[in-house]
Chains A and B, each alone.
Chain A
Amino acid sequence: MIYQGKQKIWSDYQKDIPDDHWYYARSCIRQSFFPASEKYFLKICRDLLGKDICDNEHHTTCGGIAYHSDTIPQETAMTIVARQFALMTECGYDNLVVSCITSFGNYTETIETWREFPELEARIRENLWKACRREFKIPKYIAHASDLVYKFRNQIAENAQYRLVDKETGEPLKIVEHIGCHYSKMFPHKGVGGAEYPCVLSGMVESWGGQVIDYPERRHCCGFGFRQYLVKANRGYCVSNTHKKFESMEPYHPDAIITNCPGCPYFLDRWQYVIAEQTGKTYGQNGYGIPVFTYEELAGLVLGENPWDLGLQVHQVAVEPFLDKIGIEYKPSEKYLGLNKEDLLRPEMPQVLKCH
């Protein structure tokens, strides 16, 4: 499709994202694997953009992973969601911004189902009252956290210390964007750009100087599949799906991958390690993998944050070749140090996948 045609279709799927005053809901997986990303989301929104975002200690999991692993009934998932809404209401907010894609899908599905079946909403309100003595208003707006970074991408670009550009050649770096399935595959009108041409991540990449790679399996799932990963016996499904994506993107020689889902960056990173160790194949240059970033990590990098404060040391695929390409300054000797520079030793190195 010609570029102008895509632009026209995208314009039908633009979201009118509120400018300020958000209640933040964290993610179970992102807290565990990418806690610095959540920290930097809040830092960017509050310190750089001056936005009001409430981070309430009383909220819990939304239950989304349990719901999609079929370990809790729909009513349980919905009542947990209702409690999150109640906490938001009690804090005086109308706009919910969600860190997790599974949660974003879960909240959206809940509200859409209630719209169709009001008697179910009434039952969930009853459940919540019985269990917690709480009441709630349905959020006026639910955004995924990447929607906000997309909305403010140009302000981030204006404050950037680096651009996604090869410092030697001056050419834009080639970036693959991977969007979590539950961002817009269930409810396309809820995602920036819809399900077929989502531009929530490609908009960031272009604004920060990079070039987005189009490849055949661009919209294919990373392979998480909930029970397909969480049960050890099923993980062949996950690595096969990731393998399919990497084989498809390989001819385009991407420099990095940007993601907006909790699981996807973990799987796209770790399965490269498994594929390398099992088959000897690596997808980056010179024995390295292709580094995979959350959108906050990439935003943090262009804004000049210390890569190790962003948590890039717990990626299995080395990020250094990417940092070197841009010319981002970092101290290799501090990669595995603690907060107060204490020595935490070093991880073992994989046998095949080149790491630092």
Chain B
Amino acid sequence: MLEIGKKTETCIVTTKLYDELCKDYRFREGLKACINCGTCTAICPAAEFYRYDPRKIVDTVQRKDDSEIEALLRSETIWYCGECMSCMTRCPRSNAPGKVIMALRNLSVKLGYFTESERGRQIYPLTEAINRNILEYGYCVYPDTFRFEDHPESGPVWKWHLEHKEASYARMGANYKGKGPGALRQIAPEDMSELKAIFDVSGGTERTALVEEFSRKKAEEMGMSMEEYRRHTFEHCSDIHFNND
């Protein structure tokens, strides 16, 4: 766990937030020299929908003011981007605001600031669902954990499909839970062990634990069990986010 300017169990970290961001390769690739033209905001799908302006975020970070960067890390703002990277295509100075956002999110998680915003807290249900799918099945998305109740937009046809999963997948030529190659095959235990080992050596396991630890603290603070917290962060949407101007 990293805490800026505070003594932790392992070390004293005095590095500025901007310097921390510079350690992230995405930040170094994503921010060269912003001329504040606003092209990124003009092309951004999120800027039309949310109270979100990638130009302002990049400008804030570029000013290297740690108190402003800290406010960003604790804010709703950095969680609005959809990472479509349309901004990367159009920036006339080859910046990538979407990558700057990824670096900001990464630092927000490391510092535990993500629990201070409604959209940041969603990291918990996301981590719980996606990382579990990866480590249990070898896929980011997997039919057995895709609950129709959580996805009514998938329509009655998908409800039907899920009710007849084995037969429906067989009809479509999948090798669902089967041995050997093919779509939705069962990934062998030795391959799953390698995935787990990759998580262990590359920070994935540590990140998962960190998200859980900070989220547990927040759930206690909000008077919720972890399951209540997971449901709440997955489903609750207040009206503060939207660009209704």
- Chain A residues in contact with chain B, CB under 8 A? 26, 28-32, 35-36, 38-39, 55-61, 63-66, 68-76, 78-80, 83, 105, 113, 116-117, 120, 124, 127-128, 130-132, 181-182, 184-186, 188, 195-196, 219-221, 223-228, 230-237, 239-241, 244, 270-271, 273-274, 308-309, 311, 313-316, 336-339, 342, 344-350, 355
In the assembled complex, the Cα of A350 lies from the Cα of B126 at a distance in Å of 30
Q: Name the distance in Å between B90's Cβ and chain A's nearest Cβ.
A: 9
Map CB proximity to A onto B117-142 as digits: 1 under 8 Å, 0 otherwise.
00100110111011100100011111
Beyond the given pairs A76-B202, A221-B86, 13 more chain A to chain B contacts, judged by CB atoms under 8 angstroms and listed by A's residue number, are: A32-B146, A57-B187, A60-B191, A61-B140, A66-B131, A72-B134, A76-B207, A131-B202, A225-B45, A231-B234, A270-B154, A273-B153, A311-B171
Contact A131 B194 (CB under 8 A): yes
Residue of B nearest to A126 (CB): B201
Residues of A within 8 A of B46 (CB): 225, 228, 237
Q: Name the distance in Å between A27's Cβ and chain B's nearest Cβ.
A: 9
B18 touches A (CB below 8 Å): no
In the assembled complex, the Cα of A124 lies from the Cα of B130 at a distance in Å of 22
The range of chain B's interface size is 35 or more
Q: Please count the residue pairs between chain A and chain B whose beta carbons lie under 8 angstroms apart in the complex.
A: 274
Q: Name the distance in Å between A86's Cβ and chain B's nearest Cβ.
A: 10
The 10 A-B residue pairs with the shortest CB-CB distance, nearest first, are: A225-B82, A347-B160, A76-B204, A35-B174, A131-B197, A35-B183, A39-B173, A65-B140, A233-B237, A316-B155
Residues of A within 8 A of B227 (CB): none
Residue of B nearest to A274 (CB): B153
Chain B at the A interface: SS class = helix
In the assembled complex, the Cα of A38 lies from the Cα of B185 at a distance in Å of 13
Contact B234 A233 (CB under 8 A): yes
In the assembled complex, the Cα of A195 lies from the Cα of B187 at a distance in Å of 35
Contact B170 A338 (CB under 8 A): yes
In the assembled complex, the Cα of A70 lies from the Cα of B104 at a distance in Å of 10
Contact A233 B171 (CB under 8 A): no
Contact B45 A220 (CB under 8 A): yes
Residue of B nearest to A318 (CB): B157
Q: Name the distance in Å between A159's Cβ and chain B's nearest Cβ.
A: 20
Residues of A within 8 A of B161 (CB): 314, 347
Q: Name the distance in Å between A188's Cβ and chain B's nearest Cβ.
A: 6
Contact B183 A38 (CB under 8 A): yes
Binds A, one of B24-32, B60-68, B217-225: B24-32
Contact B198 A228 (CB under 8 A): no
